[in-house]
Structure 1
């Protein structure tokens, strides 16, 4: 009989929680070494669990990536919330986009999956979207952002800059310039 996947708020049994942590640790190591499209079989082997256990915990690759990203996303959101009120609205958006680009380049291949990862509904994914919306609303209210800019536009900026860095590591030095170019296009003159 297949194991039922617990609801997100349901605490895991101790052995299930240990398996989950082993899977996340193994995935982090494998994805850093080989990229986000590395074999999930290899992740399961490195974690010392069967592939069925991995898929019970994380039914899709995006679910696994989202779980791995959750703490980093929550940290980015906390930092943005703490600092954004001391920055102009566009500077706060720039800082947020930059932090997410850095996060998205943690391992090769994450940028290509970012849109799907953000749709998984984990706490970090939800919080990052809420924070992005808050920053956009603040900039609109200040009259420095076009009215038609949506959170999906910021996600596209993040993906584009992260993919550029992934393709050419030297472009990491130009990430801020690219972010500024994109944000210049969505700001109000």
Structure 2
């Protein structure tokens, strides 16, 4: 007997979207420890509706994060599939990921603090970026010793520069330039130490 998840009714789906939008607005305005009833009031729904859709605060923060990142990244990821210049496609993908993290620093930090920031949240971004790396290797414009697990670590390296800049700075772009040079084809043999597998974890993001 097959079991299928029923799609939400139109009114229920609208309530979910209102709660997510309200949560983001309240989080930006008052931080991530605001009472859930304040989010309910902002969304114009009862507190029972909030808890029915998001039983835990972690569920709501994760939904806010996923939706905000998807809205920023999906158009770029679709565009790079048709970008003929593979190195430019890789740069656009990495730039989009780090730029989204810069714009959503508060949400990322909150998700990290409550344990909701796991690698599966960003996997939809990492997979297309990894595919661009493989495409670059096949066309000879990316060094052959990179592996898929290098992509999330590269992004985390760039995100790790945020605290050293003033709020709103795009100084991280200098280090994206350096990393783009670092992934260029080698003249000689690889000097990289062997890669280790990427474990799922909650990155300690301090932004």
| Fold shared per TM-score above 0.5 | yes
Moved over 4 A (4+): 111-115
SS in 2 for 1:49: coil
Q: 1:128 to 1:185 in 2, by over 3 A?
A: same
Counterpart position of 2:78: 78
Q: 2:45 aligned to 12, 31, 49, which one?
A: 49
Structure number with larger C-alpha Rg: 2
CA distance, structure 1, for counterparts of residue 164 and residue 45 of structure 2: 33
Counterpart position of 1:140: 137
Q: 2:97 aligned to 100, 112, 126, which one?
A: 100
Preserved contact between residue 73 and residue 96 of structure 2 (Cα < 8 Å)? no
SS in 2 for 1:169: coil
Task: Flag structure 2 segments of 5+ consecutive residues without an equivalent.
Answer: 187-207
| 1:18 Cα deviation after fit | 1.7
Normalised by the size of structure 2, how large is the TM-score?
A: 0.66
Preserved contact between residue 66 and residue 118 of structure 1 (Cα < 8 Å)? no
Task: Flag structure 1 segments of 5+ consecutive residues without an equivalent.
Answer: 1-5
Q: Please tell me whether residue 119 in structure 1 is matched to residue 120 in structure 2.
A: yes
CA distance, structure 2, for counterparts of residue 50 and residue 117 of structure 1: 30
Q: 1:149 to 1:184 in 2, by over 3 A?
A: farther
Q: Please tell me whether residue 188 in structure 1 is matched to residue 189 in structure 2.
A: no
Q: Number of aligned residue pairs: give it.
A: 173
Normalised by the size of structure 1, how large is the TM-score?
A: 0.71
Counterpart position of 1:3: none
Name the one with the larger helix percent. 1
Counterpart position of 1:149: 147
Counterpart position of 1:33: 29
CA distance, structure 1, for counterparts of residue 7 and residue 152 of structure 2: 32
Q: 1:118 to 1:175 in 2, by over 3 A?
A: same
SS in 1 for 2:129: helix
CA distance, structure 2, for counterparts of residue 55 and residue 185 of structure 1: 47
| 1:127 Cα deviation after fit | 4.3
